[in-house]
Amino acid sequence: MKKHMKRHAWNILFAAVLVSFTAYVALDTFVITHVYQNVDTGTGTTTSEAQAATLRSSDTSSQTATVTDDSYSDGSVSIKITTDRVDDTTVYAADVTLSSTDYLKTAFAQNAYGQNLTETTSDIASDNNAVLAINGDYYGAQRSGYVLRNGTLYRDTVKEEQEDLVIGTDGSFQIISESDISASELLEDGAAQILSFGPGLVEDGEIAVTENEEVGKAKASNPRTAVGIIDDLHYVFVVSDGRTDESTGLTLYQLAEYMQGLGVETAYNLDGGGSSTMYFNGNVMNNPTTGGNRVSERKVSDIVYIG
């Protein structure tokens, strides 16, 4: 009897330890924040959004921006946002022309590389004086896949069968497979940014996804975020609504068709669903939502922005 009770007690203790360990692993993976490296943005103290709108210049002289609800121009950066209806979905497209690659940047939540570090797209954008921003690849939700931002390599762990977008220091776009080349080699070859989500939507002007292709087990129609290049220093940032009565969302193929229609040579799919957010001049332009019950921004780990 005592032996049975002792064994029963050990079983209870083992189960308790197992549950505690499992809970800790879950918290450590999805909740507990870890800062691995702080990022020096080089901006000093943060200016207000109104001030930031007049500080987009590649030289030492100040240029005054012309700003409307859907456009921005200051001589170095030109942005025009249009709103379309595509397959019962509202789509926001920002046409961007730059005088220099210096204005195409990325930023981390809380200005730090780490685990479970998140902020809304609009907060990250505001902190970095962005004129235009979209959510990035949510690197923090993955434990592998390349992370290269603004010329600094943070993670070089290969994720098998992963397609990345490589943005060169010259502003060019290239879609690569992580299995084919290392992050260090890409950096040596002149990469400034590597975004690891995908898949590639358009390559050499041709649609690169099938009609049935999806990201993991994602639903067919979703809010989407994508970025594309039309020509040298000429880009499009695209976000679609979805999961609401007003907007059903897009499939990857529908998104690729839309991007191709904009004239892109290369286009790449970024994190979507509740993450999909477009920020412009202090405002969120789209209607971010996860389940369609309410419009609200999901916190993410990073953004792509113009600023």
| Residue spans per domain, the chain | 33-306
Which position has the higher pLDDT, 269 or 293?
269
**In angstroms, rounded to a whole number, what is the distance separating the alpha carbons of residues 149 and 306?**
14
Which position has the higher pLDDT, 47 or 255?
255
**In angstroms, rounded to a whole number, what is the distance separating the alpha carbons of residues 105 and 151?**
10
Mean pLDDT of 92-107: 98
Which position has the higher pLDDT, 13 or 245?
245
Please write the tens of the pLDDT for every residue from 161-203: 999 999 999 999 999 999 999 999 999 999 999 999 999 999 9
**In angstroms, rounded to a whole number, what is the distance separating the alpha carbons of residues 274 and 193?**
23
Identify the three-state secondary structure at position 125. Answer: helix
Pseudo-torsion of CA 285, 264, 178, 138, nearest 10°?
0
How far the first Cα of the chain sits from its last, in Å, is 74
| pLDDT (0 to 100) of residue 9 | 53
| pLDDT (0 to 100) of residue 275 | 97
| pLDDT (0 to 100) of residue 154 | 98
- 113 forms bridges with which residues in the sheet? 37
**In angstroms, rounded to a whole number, what is the distance separating the alpha carbons of residues 1 and 3?**
5
Identity at 138, one-letter amino acid code: Y
- Look at the block and give the residue holding tokens 């209870």: 12
* Summary count for the chain: helices (H), strands (E): 5, 23
| pLDDT (0 to 100) of residue 287 | 96
| pLDDT (0 to 100) of residue 37 | 81
Please write the tens of the pLDDT for every residue from 8-39: 555 554 444 443 333 333 334 445 667 778 88
Residue 288 has pLDDT above 90, yes or no: yes
Residue 54 has pLDDT above 80, yes or no: no
Residues 6+ apart with CB under 8 A from 210: 253
Residue 84: exposed, middle, or buried by beta-carbon count in 10 A (0-12, 13-18, 19+)? middle
How confident is residue 6, by pLDDT bands cut at 50, 70 and 90? low
Q: Which parts of the chain fold into alpha helices (H)?
A: 2-30, 49-52, 121-127, 183-188, 252-261
| pLDDT (0 to 100) of residue 212 | 84
Residue 159: exposed, middle, or buried by beta-carbon count in 10 A (0-12, 13-18, 19+)? middle
* CB-CB contact of 174 with 164 (8 Å): no
Please write the tens of the pLDDT for every residue from 224-233: 999 999 999 9
How confident is residue 215, by pLDDT bands cut at 50, 70 and 90? confident
